[in-house]
Amino acid sequence: MPRYRLLLVDDEPRMTQVLGILADRWGYEVRTASNGDEALRVLQDYPAELIVTDLKMPGLDGAALLDAVKARHPEVAVIIMTAHATVKSAVDAMKAGAYDYIMKPFENEELRLTVERALDYSRLKKDNAYMRRELGAKYRVDKIIGDSPQILDVLKLIERVAPTRATVLVTGESGTGKELVAKAVHFRSGRSTGPFVRVNCAALAETLLESELFGHEKGAFTGAVRTHHGKFEEADGGTIFLDEIGETSNNFQTKLLRVLQEGVLTRVGGMANISVDVRVIAATNRDLQQRVREGRFREDLFFRLNVVPIHLPALRERSSDIPQLAENFIRSAAQANDLPPKQLRDDAVEALKNYDWPGNVRELENTIERAIILSPDRTITAADLWIPSPARADSTPSAAGADAQDAGARYHVPPELFGKPLGPFIDEMAKVRVLHALDQTRWHKQEAADALGIDRATLYRQMKKFGIQESEGEGGKG
């Protein structure tokens, strides 16, 4: 494990020597400098995680060094040492960004604990910065896959609206990727370092939804044993994503409208107005204009939410994007399941493009992952997809209401399996896959294991689990 790097700065050589011996004994890598100017030169080639510096030094002193480090190396923690400690000098150092200060003379154990805490803090800052970068990369607009005209229009809207403060309403059928759009807007905005808070408005009863979003005071209702900060307060400085906004009641809509108009809320059972700085992105799979006409959604709230509308097309409306989406899901599903990537055969591509996808992109992703796991070869065929044929694409993709023979024919699965619970069903399909690989390789175990994307020992365990005997094949090669 790499050692943490410390930079010790003091104009007294004896002090840096003693500190260096202690730090080395505690397991740290150490460099030293006699003043602030020298310390900044050392930092150019030595990426220290922590600086321990004296406050009073000739030339660039500890306070000036702290300012320079915060400007050039904000991820580096700084501890100030001083023999002239006053409350003011300590407060000034902390305000300027020092992690902590320590007074000379100090106990070795006191210094050791202060250094450990500072390094923990520095590591946490680095981890947070890394997570921010990863989230930013994950939700870049180029993660919204497709080059159909509909998707290109969506990407242009995201690019234009993200840097603004405008409220956004994302519409589209379930499974089209509305939350991904919301996150792309957030992480490309000036609020990207703030929180992104998601609330599924359809998942909570009205009374719970109000408490969840606006918070409640202690004693506001039975069970309110402490004050609860709501999601709007949690999202202060960032973005709140109100999913399924069309499922909310008129009473709740009235209270939400006040937050949007005035930027203030009142907790349930409370009297005080609480200011919040939150960008709102709402989403729905409903026709909100129709619900306004029916009196089920407030017109003034609709106009407040619909400042910038972004509509996501259904997958069937952009079938040209399906091969690209499928290839992306193949890579991610193979990686997630520790399996080798597979290729889509032409008949599989056609089957994907000809299916209506009532569950949209989410259904496509699940279909690809299932095919990656259960397909017996390195290629995925139409039969491996388990989707209805185009002739039956208007049917509900379920065995409910159909006999097993019909369901098996539609989903390319042996009909006798449909009467079994999910566990035995999956085992039977896995057994079929193993047998197929063995048959294709004339029972050469290593080749069969390679075809399945597993090692030979795992193949033997699977054969034992499913009771597959050598006599079922043509011999026990390899």
Name the residue type at position 99: Y
Give 143-313's CATH code, choosing from 3.40.50.300, 3.90.1300.10, 1.10.10.10, 1.20.120.1760: 3.40.50.300
Do 5-135 and 143-313 show the same overall fold? yes
Q: Tell me the C-alpha to C-alpha distance, in Å, between residue 377 and each of 160, 216, 373, 463.
A: 45, 56, 10, 17
Q: Which CATH superfamily is domain 5-135 in?
A: Response regulator (3.40.50.2300)
Sequence spans of domains, the chain: 5-135, 143-313, 420-478
**By C-alpha distance, which of 5, 38, 32, 34 is closest to 19?**
32
Q: Which CATH architecture has domain 420-478?
A: Orthogonal Bundle (1.10)
Distant-in-sequence, close-in-space partners of 350: CB < 8 Å, separation ≥ 6:
382
Distant-in-sequence, close-in-space partners of 57: CB < 8 Å, separation ≥ 6:
9, 10, 11, 34, 35, 36
Integer Cα distance of 438 and 449 in angstroms: 8
- Tens of pLDDT, residue by residue, the chain (478 residues): 457 899 999 999 999 999 999 999 999 999 999 999 999 999 988 889 999 999 888 888 888 999 899 888 888 899 998 876 565 676 677 777 888 888 888 889 989 999 998 888 777 766 655 555 555 555 555 568 888 989 989 999 998 999 999 999 999 999 999 999 999 999 889 898 889 999 999 888 877 888 889 988 888 787 777 788 889 988 989 999 999 999 999 989 999 999 999 989 988 888 888 888 999 999 999 999 999 999 999 999 999 999 999 999 999 999 999 999 999 999 988 888 888 888 999 999 999 999 999 889 989 998 999 898 888 788 899 888 888 655 434 444 433 334 444 544 444 455 555 556 666 777 777 887 888 788 778 788 888 888 887 888 888 888 888 888 764 444 455 5
Q: Tell me the C-alpha to C-alpha distance, in Å, between residue 424 and each of 192, 228, 371, 372, 427.
A: 46, 46, 18, 19, 5
Helix axes 178-187, 149-161, angle to 10 degrees: 40
**Burial 156-185, CB ≥16 within 10 A → b, else e:** ebbeebbeeeebbbbbbbebbbbbbbbbbb
Q: Tell me the C-alpha to C-alpha distance, in Å, between residue 261 and each of 76, 105, 229, 303, 428.
A: 42, 57, 20, 11, 58
